[in-house]
Amino acid sequence: MRQFLLYILLFTHALGSAQSYDNDLLTKDFHKGRRQALRKLMPDSSCVVFFTNPERQRANDTKYLYHQDPDFYYLTGLKEPNAVLLMFKEPQTFYDTIVTDEIIFVQDRNPTQEAWTGKILGKDGVKLQLGFDKVLLNSQFADFKIDFSKFQKVFHKEFFDDVRDDKEDRGDLYSLIKHFRLKTEYKRKNLDNFNLEGWMSTLREIKQPEEMVLMRKAIDITCMAHAEMIRALEPGMAEYQAQAVVEYMFKNMGAEYEGYNSIVGGGENSCILHYETNRKKLDGGDLLVVDAGAEYHGYTADVTRTMPMDGKFSEEEKAIYNLVLEAQEAGIKACKSGAEFRASHKAAVAVIQKGLKDLGIIKNSNDFMKYFFHGTSHYLGLDVHDAGNYGRLFPGNVITVEPGIYIPSGSDCDPKWWNIGVRIEDDILITNGEPEVLSGKLPKKVEEIEALMKEESLFNKMTK
């Protein structure tokens, strides 16, 4: 069996052999440390309030798979809904017996419900596994005696407008938000829904060593999945079949989810930036753009590669591809500590402007935006477009570099360029020296892509 497949088998065996469930989650000490870091940013006599993400209905009585608010997870490690976290700059006293600088209100355990949907942590689990000292039930929040007016500032984030009310649950998210508003209604002047987002961006844009372990794993899984998908490509496949290979590999190597909806666009769809239908049958003359990233323990990768379905780039495709690659390499080179965030974009734009003019696709430099109309970089982490301040780059930032050129049919250029869409994206760690390309093990040069497409794929054997 090919060395690559052997590596996958060893990798997946290692994931599951240590114990029955994951043993590489972020620790309670990590989350506690993040709360301490936030508390240092809070002004004196202040309180911050965080709510979980809402549960969202998919259809009838079916909900979407729950995904926690990234800030809430970052600070607590809790993956369950219907909870609220209160943090105080200075320790507070409640009912003459509770002295604390933080309280979390969580769901109660319900054995009957757990028989249907699985066990939850409850009060004891949150204390034991997540390390909170003061844990109360969410149903107690409505009657909990707290005078928010005594704080100089009460910080919170904007509320969602799609929170549903379960009239039989006094501790659901709808009720938690309602009673927070009731408790603060008489002194709205001390409420602040602006600064908290900035503080969380400051914390989350610098990845801690524990986070980088998970990010590297998510990116490694993603690179191996893309490589196997590239091997499996054949004319006549559908976009969704290429998607299936990538997402199968994600799951098989331990990723819980896709970090975002996989973008698999061939032919004319390669020119649609966030195409997600993925239903087209792919012809031999199509270019295929695949933008897909695995999410591992909350942290997501974001990688894009572009391939010719017949295994060989045409001269026009190669010209556009190499231009995008040159722009990406210039963008990566610009990712230095202390540089402005947009340095990578400016470097990529300069290359694309000149290249498109040299190819005769545009006449004026500013016309490049007809074919390259998005930014080159964004932060990456718990969100695919992660929190960050978009100021200067610092060691510990993880960002993408993803220039692209998209020339749809009917464009104001020679028709030989029509329906050529190319994007190349890698995940970059900012260091004190040269940037580290975390996804660099996945080939991206023309000759490397063509060579990889000639390699045998296990999936081709399975479907024949």
**Residues belonging to the active site:** 61, 274, 291, 302, 374, 378, 385, 402, 406, 423, 425
Contacts 24+ apart (CB under 8 A), 343-351: 343/393, 344/376, 344/377, 344/399, 344/401, 345/375, 345/376, 345/377, 348/372, 348/376, 348/401, 348/403, 349/376, 351/323, 351/326, 351/327, 351/403
| Dihedral angle sign, alpha carbons of residues 434, 435, 438, 440 | negative
Maximum Cα interatomic distance, the chain, rounded to a whole number of Å:
79
Asked whether 409 and 418 are in contact (CB, 8 A), the reply is yes
Q: Using alpha carbons, select from 50, 21, 28, 32 the residue that is nearest to residue 118.
A: 21
Asked whether 203 and 35 are in contact (CB, 8 A), the reply is no
> How far is residue 231's CA from residue 235's CA, in Å, rounded to a whole number?
12
Those residues with Cβ within 8 angstroms of residue 454's Cβ, 6 or more apart along the chain or in another chain: 311
Question: Which two structure tokens, joined as six digits, stand for 181?
Answer: 């508003």
> How far is residue 20's CA from residue 14's CA, in Å, rounded to a whole number?
12
Match 């947009």 to its residue by tokens.
Answer: 342
Those residues with Cβ within 8 angstroms of residue 358's Cβ, 6 or more apart along the chain or in another chain: none
Asked whether 351 and 330 are in contact (CB, 8 A), the reply is yes
Q: How far is CA 50 from CA 78, 156, 233, 297, in A?
A: 12, 6, 45, 21
> Residue 232 is which amino acid?
A
